[in-house]
Chains A and B, each alone.
Chain A
Amino acid sequence: MPSPWQVECLLIRMDSLRNEILRVKNKDRPYTETDIVYDSLVAVIKSRHDMVTKAQKLYAAKGTLIPQSVFNHRAKDLETIFKFFSYTDRVDSPRIPFEVLRSLSWVANDLFGEKCYAVVRLEPEYNYAILSCRREFERNGWGQYWQYAPEEDTRASGSSDRKAAPNVLLLGFPSPDAGSTLVHALAAHEFGHEFAHKWNDDLTEVREQVVSEVKSFYNTVLQDYTSGIFRRQEGESQDDVSEKARKYLLALIESISSSWLKEIFSDLAAARLVGPAFLAAFDRIIIGHGKGSEKYPPASLRRSLVRRYLEKLLPQVISDPTWAQLFDNSALVDLPSDELFRVMQQVFDGVIDKLIPILNRIPSPLTRLKANELSDLLETMEEHIDNLAPPSVPLSVGDKLPDTEKFWLLVFVAWHYRLSDRFDELRRLCGDDTDSARAEEILGNLLLHSLQSLELRARWHEAMNQKRSNVH
């Protein structure tokens, strides 16, 4: 059992962490979107602090100490809260491209039909990630604490009614790519995870089919696999061990199927939004991380599924030779050494058709335009880039393509330009035809300018329409 001193140490650490969160919240920052996260974390700490104090008093009244396991779990809670806080304590680096955040929030609000804030942090690992803070709170069992601090809430709404707390999407960017707007194509994959969460019931049905198919390999391949999972312990019969191993295998199949399905669904969702540009940005991040794991399918499987999906969805786009280099991945084929992974890979290879009805609910700017319209628009927008003009200029707001979908169209065009011969000209224009990074930065700036311009024009257009309808 923990000594009173250990309990006091735990309580002091809770206080210190709460004070640090409040310090970060109250310091001068360029934006306050993360306030909701700080307020909610403080509320979680308070609940843990209250529990330990209450338990200390109760057990002392009985003349005993807090049970070790209760104490350990609160210490673990504190670690988790601290880790969560570490995601949001440095979201104010001047290197973060703040300009894109409003546009990303605008697109997210439209896609998910709820108020979302987009915030960027610099990732310590070379990775691009998104964390739906509210969902992460729910996963940790803290869902009830996702709210503004009561005093802020009252002040903001002018009444004692609590206003609905918006979600915060925390986008992690690899530090060296902080300025790379092109890599934001990966936001399409990360938004795919939000769709996967929204349509969880439909994906569960697909997962059940996948699990059932994997299980059908049990008698031929996987029965032997179970024999190596557990060693027999004293007092256990061979039947007990086999039974335990079979249950373990099923739990593992369920877990892998669930994770892989969400990743693959998100990849295909991204392909709907930005076409092959998703793979271009994916390749930028995935180097050296393609083997696959319990949580992630092998990169070769992901590429192959995206390609096949695009062949079905956008045959006219994928036949464009500019994208061909993305599909030449013969050197990157991963052959899993694990029997279970081999079976999973085989089953998931046929998953596209099961996902298509769900994916069709996601808007796709690339399918909304006819092939010749898309190709003409692409040409015009690329000419603008050639002349260092933002490619958003030829896009009119309020036409048949919804404005938020133009966000993804711009990302698609920017990547097409990056992979085409035209980019060589841009490199030469920079004065150093070997410096791709510099030319990419220019291309990224044009893209960024376009995304901002599009969002501002769309909001203005919307406001004007609202004004007109009020007059009439």
Chain B
Amino acid sequence: MSIIPTKTAADPYAALSWTASVVAILLEKIGLAATLDGARQRELNLNLTPDREECNALSALSEEMSLLSEASKLSGRDLFMANASPLRSELRESFSTLVAIERDFYPPADRPNFEKTGKELEVIRDHIESGDLGSLQPEILADAQQACLELLEHLDNHRPSLSVH
């Protein structure tokens, strides 16, 4: 920190964007594993087995989606009621991320469905853990992939900010 305002290098969404990127690539890997046979994979020198960093990122993003979903259900009116409890610490950061993203969403029906994506990521994680990716429904994979890329787009294009205008 500095005594007076200064330009800093920190991007508040850097960690989330990295996690979402790792997951987007993992999902791409899973999709390819389902479409390319072993011989073709060897020919292209592709290792399509999920690694530990990718699995950790999948769990982290799934949790983040649940928090964003929880934050999106909070009512602004209730939050300003006299007896409103403070935001839980793990929810506070996600609430800010959500507010920054939602600034650019209208109508509200177009908002991302974080709850659905969180659940889809959980299903994918369960399939990886059980070593049964073959029975994963392609729609779930496609939806989750799309949601990851959309989240990355919002974090990039809109460069969410809470600066005072």
Contacts and interface: CB of A to CB of B under 8 A. Distances in A.
Interface residues of A, number: 77
Interface stretch (A107-115, A240-248, A304-312): A240-248
A247 B14 contact: no
A236 B111 CA distance: 12
B135 interface: no
Interface string A203-217: 010001001100110
Contact of A251 (B6, B15, B84, B96): B96
Interface stretch (B61-69, B115-123, B124-132, B148-156): B148-156
A68 B156 CA distance: 10
B25 A55 contact: yes
A212 B18 CA distance: 34
Contacts of B95: 247, 250-251, 254
Contact of A136 (B4, B9, B24): B9
B4 A127 contact: yes
Given A69-B149, A136-B10, A208-B86, A243 B76 contact: yes
B60 to A, nearest CB: 10
A190 B1 contact: yes
B46 A70 contact: no
Interface string A57-97: 11101100001111011101100100110010000000000
Contacts of A295: 5
Interface residues on B, range: 35 or more
A288 B95 CA distance: 34
Nearest to B51: A54
A255 B92 CA distance: 10
Contacts of A26: none
A295 B5 CA distance: 7
A286 interface: yes
Given A208-B86, A252-B162, A254-B92, A73 B17 contact: yes
A129 B3 contact: yes
Given A74-B21, A262-B1, A240 B106 contact: yes
A51 interface: yes
A345 B29 CA distance: 52
A142 to B, nearest CB: 8
B36 A76 contact: no
A452 B1 CA distance: 26
B163 interface: yes
A211 B96 CA distance: 14
Contacts of A211: 86
Interface in B1-44: 1-6, 9-12, 14-19, 21-22, 24-25, 28-29, 31-32, 35-36, 44
A431 interface: no
A70 B21 CA distance: 6
Interface-central residue, A76, A233, A247, by most chain B CB under 10 Å: A247
B86 A76 contact: no
Interface in A141-159: 141
A239 to B, nearest CB: 10
A250 B6 contact: no
A299 to B, nearest CB: 9
Contact of A218 (B1, B80, B103): B80
Interface of B: 1-6, 9-12, 14-19, 21-22, 24-25, 28-29, 31-32, 35-36, 44-46, 74-77, 79-80, 82, 84, 86-87, 89, 92, 95-96, 98-100, 102-103, 106-108, 149, 152-153, 155-157, 162-165
Given A80-B14, A248-B162, 18 more contacts: A61-B46, A70-B24, A73-B156, A74-B21, A80-B9, A125-B6, A129-B1, A140-B11, A215-B80, A216-B82, A245-B76, A246-B76, A246-B77, A246-B79, A250-B95, A251-B162, A262-B1, A282-B3
